Amino acid sequence: MTDKAIVRYPGKKAEVSWDGRLCIHIGECGRAKGDLFVGGRQPWCDPDVSGDEEIRDVVMRCPTGALSVEFGDGAGVETPDPVNTVHVTYNGPLFFRGNLEIEEAPDDVPGLRFRAALCRCGASKNKPFCDNSHADAGFADYGAVGDVGNAGAASGGALHVAPSKDGPLIVSGNMTMLAGSGRAAWKGKQVALCRCGASENKPFCDGRHKKVGFKSD
């Protein structure tokens, strides 16, 4: 990816950036209280009207990594959630949060080190990221998680995500999987998650990507 889709909003002490290729318009920023983002205003985002904590809080709500912030005082970008989570959303993507290492993630999007929405319907034109194609594709899965994994598994550390060619997401590292309901459903440190949309044991891969001829490119 190049940075042509990245729009930067510089302020006196912080610069917020927004990546249009990753945003799926969940609206967490626009609905946040305060004036960091105001629809119809030019510019839409103004870091100078908000305090550092408000900026950090609103940016970190973004579930896709499209929003990120850098502070000029060297205060860093953001810190990862202490527990890596994978949220299997209702009829939608997998929301990853934590200390993320996503293969194929561009270096120029700092938010992807902490937050990402990855496709699990197979229809995205921006794989491995979600681009909202699940809606047009009629993808239906409510995010139930039947297995429990290893309830005693540790937490913390890096979470590595490797999108395999024409196959699942191979996820390695301590993680907690949240069902669509928000329930902490599964814990463990190694899992293959379906990204073709065809598994009959979602969110886990059951090998059906071969039968349906899933192509990840």
User: Which residues of this protein are in contact with ligand FES, per CB under 6 A?
Assistant: 167-168, 194-196, 198-199, 205-209
- Residue number with CB closer to ligand FES (111 or 168): 168
- Residue number with CB closer to ligand FES (155 or 164): 164
Please report, in angstroms and rounded to a whole number, the separation of the first and last CA atoms in the chain. Answer: 14
Whole-number minimum distance, CB 155 to ligand FES, in Å?
26
Q: 102 near 172, Cβ under 8 Å?
A: no
- Residue number with CB closer to ligand FES (123 or 198): 198
- Residue number with CB closer to ligand FES (185 or 198): 198
Task: Return the beta strands (E) in 31-128 as ranges.
Answer: 67-71, 85-88, 94-97, 100-102, 115-118
Q: Residue 115, SS3?
A: strand
Nearest to 192, CA basis, from 106, 69, 94? 94
Whole-number minimum distance, CB 205 to ligand FES, in Å?
3
3-class secondary structure per residue, 136-192:
HHCCCCCCCCCCCECCCCCCCCCEEEEECCCCCEEEEEEEEEECCCCCEEEEEEEEE
- Residue number with CB closer to ligand FES (93 or 168): 168
Whole-number minimum distance, CB 98 to ligand FES, in Å?
22
Whole-number minimum distance, CB 18 to ligand FES, in Å?
30
Whole-number minimum distance, CB 162 to ligand FES, in Å?
13
Q: How far apart are CA 145 and CA 203, in angstroms?
A: 7
- Residue number with CB closer to ligand FES (5 or 144): 144
Q: Residue 86, SS3?
A: strand
Q: 95 near 63, Cβ under 8 Å?
A: yes
Whole-number minimum distance, CB 64 to ligand FES, in Å?
21
Q: 196 near 212, Cβ under 8 Å?
A: yes
